[in-house]
Amino acid sequence: MEKPVIITLSNNSTISFLKAYAKSMRLYYSFVTGIAGWIGVSYYQFVATAEGARGTSGLFKTIEVPTSPEKKFVILIILFLAWGINQIINDYLGRNEDKINAPDRPMITGELNPIKAILLSFFLMIVIAVITILYLEPIALIPLFIGALLNVAYEYAKGYGILGNIIFGVMISMCGLFGFYASGPMEVYFTKSRISALVLIAVLNALMTYYTYFKDYIGDKAAGKKTVIVKYGIERNKIVAIIISFLPSILFLTSYYGFQSFEIELNNTFIILGVLTIFIQVWTGYLFYKNPVGEMTYYSLVTNFRACTCGQAAIIALFSPELGMILFLCSYVFVGFLFNMHTNIKA
């Protein structure tokens, strides 16, 4: 009679652990890594097709071949899980400030065992590495490994002003590089266009994480984390919040027209999505200007995440207009949907 009871309790414990783990992954963030990585996947397909092979846009087709649907699916799963797996590590390293900023997070309340969660994340990362080597492209291990290291470095770097934002941006740009490298064989790994796209991804995500620091101001300050917001104060930063919202647009226009860094012609879909993205980005800046502290600061994050993910989808529209439009709409809708499932501002 005792054995069935023990098994039931064990199963319940496992289910509770997995639920807490999934909750800590904060899946509405997954579109950040997912869409960033899909930029690389989509760009590879463009290079590998006849359209990209014409050589009119400096794409340098070599031995690229279109990626199979099965491999695309595997890459997509990896990209969308990447945020959550690394978020567990981030939560583990940031427990001191989370005790103030987010006391209801599972790792703080005891709902999620920190050691077991870390071990599961490491196990999943090993599985992803093995899949990358045996099924995808071994070269993709490089951005995968760099991204994992930067995730650890970020937790410490965020306490040194803008350095944290830079490292976070570069970390997410590794998702784009992973998506590109994992998609198939190639001989030319970097071109001016590819580096420019990675820089734009990094800037979009550095800006996104800058706005998230507003909600963490009190906890970061108490924990001695001198983020940009803590270092220069709320009043200065709420003005900067509006000014800096134009940065991705200025960077793209300067790179495209001033330095010809993106060697591809603009299309109508990209222009439309680009204009919509600018609006969402500026609206994000305004929201944090208006509500730099308080409960509304948290709820403004959904617009912030949309600005980032929709901006990344707009980049895809440069070389895949229809896909870019679809991902733009999906990002806008599902980021809001998933965010609304996590309405506890202390979690």
Digit-coded pLDDT (tens) for 214-239: 988 888 888 788 889 999 999 999 99
11 in a structural domain = no
Evaluate whether residue 15 is within a structural domain. Answer: no
Region 46-63: mean pLDDT is: 65
User: For residue 173, what pLDDT is reported?
Assistant: 96
Burial class (CB in 10 A: 0-12, 13-18, 19+), 44: buried
Radius of gyration of the chain (CA): 21
For the beta carbon of residue 40, count every other beta carbon within 10 angstroms: 29
Closest CA to 136 of 179, 188, 89: 179
Predicted confidence at residue 316, as pLDDT, reads 95
pLDDT digits (tens, 9 = 90+) for 209-219: 999 999 888 88
Please indicate, yes or no, if residue 14 is contained in any of the structural domains.
Answer: no
For 299-312, what is each residue's pLDDT tens digit?
999 999 999 999 99
Burial 81-117 (b: 16+ CB within 10 A, else e): bbbbbbbbbbbbbbeebbebbbeebbbbeebbbeeeb
Which residues neighbour 93 within 8 Å (Cβ) at sequence distance 6 or greater?
A: 152, 155, 156
Are 222 and 152 spatial neighbours (Cβ–Cβ below 8 Å)?
no
DSSP label at 135?
Answer: T
Residues 289 and 304: their CA atoms lie apart, in Å, by: 13
Number of domains composing the chain? 1
**Could you give the 3-state DSSP secondary structure of residue 226?**
strand
3-class state of residue 232 by DSSP: helix
Note the pLDDT of residue 58.
52
The token duo for 338 is 């998933």
| Residue range 28-42, pLDDT digits in tens | 778 889 999 999 999
**Mean pLDDT over residues 174-184, rounded?**
95
Domain assignment present for 179: yes
- In a domain? residue 8: no
Mean predicted confidence (pLDDT) in 121-138 = 94
Average pLDDT over residues 250-270: 90
Instruction: Read off the pLDDT of residues 266-286 as tens digits, 9 standing for 90 and up.
Output: 999 999 999 999 999 999 999
Please state, for a pLDDT cut of 90, what percent of the chain lies above it.
55
Which letter, b or e, does each residue of 314-323 get, where b requires 16 or more Cβ atoms within 10 Å of its Cβ?
Answer: bbbbbbbbeb
Is residue 113 domain-resident? Answer: yes
Most distant pair of Cα atoms in the chain: their distance: 77
Q: How confident is the model at residue 188 (pLDDT cuts 50, 70, 90)?
A: confident
Q: Which DSSP letter does residue 68 get?
A: P
pLDDT at 5 exceeding the cut of 50: no
**pLDDT at position 19:** 86
Can you tell me the mean pLDDT for 66-85? 91
Res 203: pLDDT: 96
Packing angle between helix 234-243 and helix 192-215, nearest 10 degrees? 150
* Torsion angle defined by CA atoms of residues 228, 165, 260 and 304, in that order, rounded to the nearest 10 degrees: -90
pTM of the predicted protein model: 0.87
Range of the domain at 328: 24-339
Residue 246 has pLDDT above 80, yes or no: yes
Q: What is the mean pLDDT of residues 43-49?
A: 90
Q: In whole angstroms, give the CA distance from residue 248 to residue 83.
A: 22
Q: What is the pLDDT of residue 105?
A: 86
Residue 86 lies inside a defined structural domain of this protein: yes
Provide the mean pLDDT of the chain.
87
Strands (E), 235-330: none
pLDDT at 214: 93
Give counts: helices (H), strands (E), the chain: 18, 0
- The Cα–Cα gap between 40 and 175 comes to 8
CA distance 347 to 336: 17
Q: How many CA atoms lie within 13 A of 220 on its CB side?
A: 24
Question: What is the pLDDT at residue 279?
Answer: 97
For residue 173, being part of any structural domain is answered with yes
CB atoms within 10 A of CB 344: 10
The partner residues of 160 in beta bridges, in order of sequence, read 226
Euclidean distance between CA atoms 7 and 13, whole angstroms = 10
